[in-house]
Chain A
């Protein structure tokens, strides 16, 4: 696979402090993930799991601390090497499934992209021409997952990725994550449910 160097990347954060709305969410947080590793971020509601993902994605600015990706592409920022799957799924209800996916592939710069193949991988190939507004919550999630496959990026930031997925969907997604890790990728996932793959646990907020 192109774009990923195998086995020599490392995503790490040191002394991270996050303040939102004048309230300190967490402070002194360290984390690290190497190529092929998954980190499951756990913690009670409001402990800052999503905030951590958004810090890594560059969508929030840390009040203190640094985040770095060693061994990544030297000309790209960290955010540009991340896929971010938030709880808002970035789909336009007026556009069809294929149009939604093709837009993100074009916009994110997918070179080897095949809409039908990506949709088949997430089990949505029967609904290609359906407007996204008619999809169920689980189908919307599957379509968002297909976006991760359009462009290869080393870091996947996943916020509650298995939400609304049925059992078969969770198995399918675990397979996709394993494939990504086997290719040298990294995953940081905020989750309450088990991810379904081997992962290191990062607990935020400690005992409340």
Chain B
């Protein structure tokens, strides 16, 4: 356990230092969401209808942006070799890295959501709903994105490949995340059904992600 805790602590520390990924994600999120009202125009009703979708898109793209470095940095400096060789199972090490990434890059997005909700004319309840769906859904984005990040290392291809691989996996998360938020704002669906599916997606990816990523990394040993 100390090994995993050490890995999580290290990754969070690196992400929060100057040049780390955490701030980049939040800034990107901020940029996308702040620009959107200017692009859509001064139609408040339209803005609040689009609000949840914009917030979700921003969060999805922001998490994709920072995910492709998840294993690449460790691969380039040789840390991944030592992690593979260690007594810690690679699956657990992958899960720890994804958890650290979510804590450093995913949580700040959720914290920023209430502020950005103001810009999109969302009321308190709608903003809370979006934040709640993001809290339930972003782990799925991180843990499925991890598979793409591992494949990017294995195949020696960077960013773009990763986006292409991961996007289809993240579409269900986007659909049910936005659906659950919309249910609170305009109805007529209940909030519970899409939200439960969103939670289920997160739980499934929590299990599958680390195994798929570890398998990919092992296969790509070189």
Contact = CB atoms under 8 A, between A and B. Distances in A.
Nearest to B4: A107
A106 B84 contact: no
A107 B86 CA distance: 8
Contact of B77 (A82, A91, A99): A91
B42 interface: no
Given A106-B6, A107-B3, A107-B7, A60 B81 contact: no
Interface in B151-185: none
B108 to A, nearest CB: 18
A206 B85 CA distance: 30
Interface string A103-114: 110111100000
A62 B81 CA distance: 17
Contact of A89 (B9, B77, B85): B77
A79 interface: yes
B10 A103 contact: yes
The winner among A57, A89, A94 for most chain B CB atoms within 10 A is A94
Interface residues of A, number: 28
Given A57-B85, A61-B221, A84-B85, A90 B3 contact: no
Interface string B1-43: 0110111011001100111100000000000000000000000
Contact of A57 (B13, B19, B20, B81): B81
A107 B82 CA distance: 10
B interface SS class: helix
A86 B6 contact: no
Given A59-B221, A103-B10, A90 B85 contact: no
A2 to B, nearest CB: 16
A76 interface: yes
B78 interface: yes
B196 interface: no
Given A94-B14, A109-B2, A79 B88 contact: no
B18 A94 contact: yes
A92 interface: yes
A88 B77 contact: yes
Pick the 10 closest A-B CB pairs, nearest first: A88-B78, A106-B6, A94-B17, A90-B78, A79-B85, A90-B79, A103-B10, A107-B3, A107-B6, A80-B87
6 contacts: A58-B84, A82-B85, A84-B85, A88-B76, A91-B77, A107-B10
Interface of A: 20, 57-61, 76, 79-80, 82, 84, 86-92, 94-95, 99, 102-104, 106-109
Interface of B: 2-3, 5-7, 9-10, 13-14, 17-20, 76-79, 81-88, 221-222
